[in-house]
């Protein structure tokens, strides 16, 4: 079967990584899967023209009901959709977008949510389609490059010190987008009022292997997002044995159990408190690392994720 897969493919983002991983599952089952950036298309008519080309596409898949799913509304072939998180957490608040998403969900043959909470939210805000919404957590498989210099990484990010190995680095992994709220913790990191960004450094984007290597060397990975579907960065950090400090929002709380698999905070001040605990309480650090690793192994293996998507794609025949 030839399948069209639409997603927002910003380079080196979790969304791109997720799409590539799912595409590999589809192709390993013997199908042909063409992954395309949803931003290439201006309207559903553009996708209709594409799927009618020879050899014709026989099915389609999309990540994010509004950004990509709406482009599938006029095609005559079956399709499935995957909630991106932002669609349910943010886009449903806009009536025009919510109506479009309802139409997409009604026409889709199946939908996938990363968490039970996302499924519940979809059922609450959209026309109830409970029977076609499946819950499948993201699968995580970390890969650390051997060619990585921690000192060079820090200095290229603006850190100027002769004692970089002694630093306790809190790594915030995100794109500079509103929903990621990257400035939420800047002020509490600062040591002075005049120079508000003291202690805060911006690193350029890295390939996944280098990012994982940086995660493994840092003291903790931080999440400050306003909303999340399921943060791949959090899961990757946990899998690498790195403590996580995550903003207490539903998408993060579905993954991080406070003081069990990581630490949650609800304000910049609470972030400072939890960070200090992590710095001083070695038993707490070891416990969340140990429990987190077990959690990811049990709930986020790629084997189950691969089987789920291969089974669902088969329903598009």
Q: What mean pLDDT do residues 163-181 have?
A: 74
Structure token digits, residue 131: 């029977």
CA distances in angstroms from 233 to 183, 221, 223, listed in the order given: 18, 8, 8
Q: What mean pLDDT do residues 225-254 have?
A: 91
Q: What mean pLDDT do residues 109-138 have?
A: 88
Spatial CB neighbours of 109, under 8 Å, sequence gap ≥ 6: 78, 79, 80, 132, 315, 316
- The predicted pLDDT at position 189 comes to 64
CATH architecture of the domain formed by 150-299 = 3-Layer(aba) Sandwich (3.40)
* Three-state secondary-structure class, residue 7: strand
Of 87, 2, 77, 88, the C-alpha closest to 44 is 77
* Three-state secondary-structure class, residue 223: strand
| Gap between the Cα atoms of 182 and 185, Å rounded | 7
Domain ranges in the chain are 2-139+301-314, 150-299
pLDDT at position 259 over 90: yes
Same fold, 2-139+301-314 and 150-299: yes
pLDDT band at 42 (very low <50, low <70, confident <90, very high): very high
- How many Cβ atoms sit within 10 Å of the Cβ of residue 308? 18
* Higher pLDDT among residues 165 and 20, named by residue: 20
Q: For 15-36, what is each residue's pLDDT tens digit?
A: 888 999 999 999 999 999 999 9
Q: For 294-308, what is each residue's pLDDT tens digit?
A: 999 999 989 999 999
Q: What mean pLDDT do residues 124-152 have?
A: 82
CATH number given to 2-139+301-314: 3.40.50.2000
CA distances in angstroms from 158 to 154, 187, 193, 205, 211, listed in the order given: 7, 18, 20, 14, 17
What sign does the dihedral 17-18-19-20 (CA atoms) show?
Answer: positive
DSSP secondary structure, 17-72, as one string: HHHHHHHHHHHHTT-EEEEEEGGG-SSHHHHHHHHTSSSPP-EEEEESTTTTGGGG
């Amino acid at each position: 079967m030839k399948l069209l897969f639409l997603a927002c493919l910003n380079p080196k983002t979790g969304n791109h990584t997720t799409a590539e991983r799912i595409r590999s599952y589809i192709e390993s089952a013997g199908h042909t899967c063409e992954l395309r950036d949803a931003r290439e298309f201006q309207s559903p008519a553009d996708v209709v023209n594409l799927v009618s080309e020879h050899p014709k596409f026989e099915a389609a898949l999309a990540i994010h009901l509004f950004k990509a799913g709406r482009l599938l509304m006029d095609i005559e072939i079956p399709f499935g959709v995957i909630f991106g998180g932002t669609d349910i957490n943010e886009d449903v608040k806009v009536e025009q977008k919510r109506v479009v998403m309802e139409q997409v969900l009604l026409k889709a043959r199946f939908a996938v949510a990363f968490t039970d909470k996302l499924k519940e939210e979809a059922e609450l805000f959209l026309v109830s389609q409970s029977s076609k919404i499946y819950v499948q957590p993201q699968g995580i498989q970390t890969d650390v490059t051997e060619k990585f210099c921690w000192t060079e990484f820090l200095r290229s990010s603006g850190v100027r010190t002769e004692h970089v190995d002694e630093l306790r680095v809190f790594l915030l992994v995100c794109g500079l987008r509103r929903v990621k709220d990257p400035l939420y913790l800047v002020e509490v990191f600062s040591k002075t009022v005049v120079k508000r960004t003291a202690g805060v450094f911006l690193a350029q984007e890295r390939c996944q292997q280098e990012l994982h290597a940086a995660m493994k060397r840092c003291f903790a990975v931080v999440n400050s997002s306003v909303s999340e579907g399921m943060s791949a960065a959090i899961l990757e950090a946990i899998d690498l044995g790195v403590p996580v400090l995550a903003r207490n929002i539903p998408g993060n709380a579905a993954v991080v159990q406070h003081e069990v698999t990581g630490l949650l905070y609800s304000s910049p001040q609470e972030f400072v408190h939890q960070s200090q605990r992590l710095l001083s309480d070695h038993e707490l650090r070891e416990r969340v690392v140990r429990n987190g690793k077990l959690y990811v192994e049990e709930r986020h293996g790629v084997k189950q994720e691969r089987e789920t998507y291969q089974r669902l794609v088969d329903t598009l025949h």
